Structure 1
Amino acid sequence: MIQRLDTELFRTVVAHTPLISIDLIVRNPQGQVLLGQRVNRPAQGYWFVPGGRVRKDERLAEAFIRLVHEELGLTACGMQDALFLGPFEHFYADNFSSNDFSTHYVVLGYQLDIDVLPVQLPHEQHHSYRWFSVDELLNSSDVHFHTKQYFQNNI
């Protein structure tokens, strides 16, 4: 099993290297997009798509399955069930622990069309969730810039 890094080692990694992550652009049959209000830095307090980091020695397909489960509570959903939107870069002035160094992500965006989500979504990264229309999220000051980027090319 692939383990998480301890906090001090992870601080060092974030301070000196880019991170690789997968973002899940979840759409319902009405074309709305699921966003969660971020609990943690970076992007704390903003509405953001679910997603997370790829861990060392974790294959992308394994990371995708893990993140869909951790972020959405879904099982039996793999990369073959999603549309790859491409690579994106996210730069933040802060990091998970403070403002003393930046965070750089190389993000692989995947669109996932979902008919039904679990009644109770996980709350480790987002304290509330809601569905947004694309127009609504593009025009909201509470939706993070990096989330808006997924919709500026009319995906």
Structure 2
Amino acid sequence: MKLELETFKTVVASTPLVSIDLIIKNKQGQVLLGERTNRPAKGYWFVPGGRILKDENFEQAFLRLTSVELGQEYSIASATFLGPYQHFYTDNFSGTDFSTHYVVLGYELTVDIDINDLPVEQHGAYQWWSVEELLNSEVVHQHTKDYFL
């Protein structure tokens, strides 16, 4: 269930959000990152993912997020749970009036995806990165790097 804009602003300003991040690796061990077009983390390279919606269980959320973010549904059973993470941002989706706090469930999935077929709603561009490259890059967000430290 999606919330009305003003209600969602109140939620983001008042509580942590729960989300799933998708750490996608290809068979060569490279990691899929997208350049974010929206706040928070706008302009940084980041793993795909998104919020869990109210009344959505983990399996439903995973199926929806992989469909929206990767263009194809994958089952949560095909992924490896990496653990919980915390993401703190000084801004939010609507501006800089309040911060954003995420409790993130990290899941790793190994699939070969053609980056030319990926949706562009959240990311303006996609690229496969080696772990060494992303850890040494100033344009990859620290929260993404944290999955590999």
Same fold by TM-score greater than 0.5 = yes
Q: Are 1:112 and 2:105 counterparts?
A: no
Superposition pairs of residues 35-50 of structure 1, within 5 angstroms: 35-50=33-48
C-alpha offsets along residues 30-64 of structure 1, whole Å, 9 cap, x if unaligned?
A: 00000000010000000000000000000011000
Asked if the contact 2:115–2:126 (Cα under 8 Å) also holds between the matched residues in 1, the reply is no
1:148 to 135, 141, 145: 145
Alpha-carbon distance in 2 for matches of 1:122, 1:131: 15
Asked if the contact 1:90–1:107 (Cα under 8 Å) also holds between the matched residues in 2, the reply is yes
Query: Match for 2:7: what amino acid?
Result: L
Superposition pairs of residues 94-133 of structure 1, within 5 angstroms: 94-117=91-114, 119-133=116-130
Could you state the TM-score of these two structures normalised by the residue count of structure 1?
A: 0.94
Q: Are 1:61 and 2:79 counterparts?
A: no
Structure 1 segments (4+ residues) deviating >6 Å? none
Asked if the contact 1:72–1:117 (Cα under 8 Å) also holds between the matched residues in 2, the reply is no
For residue 93 of structure 1, what is the aligned residue in structure 2?
Answer: 90
2:72 counterpart SS class: coil
* Cα RMSD for the two superposed structures: 0.9
Alpha-carbon distance in 2 for matches of 1:122, 1:31: 22
Q: Which structure is higher in helix share?
A: 2
Alpha-carbon distance in 2 for matches of 1:107, 1:100: 22
Could you state the TM-score of these two structures normalised by the residue count of structure 2?
A: 0.97
Deviation, structure 1 residue 118: 6.5
Alpha-carbon distance in 2 for matches of 1:6, 1:40: 18
Percent of aligned pairs with the same residue? 62
2:108 counterpart SS class: strand
Where does structure 1 lack aligned partners over 5 or more consecutive residues? Answer: none
Asked if the contact 1:35–1:47 (Cα under 8 Å) also holds between the matched residues in 2, the reply is yes
1:110 counterpart SS class: strand
Where does structure 2 lack aligned partners over 5 or more consecutive residues? Answer: none
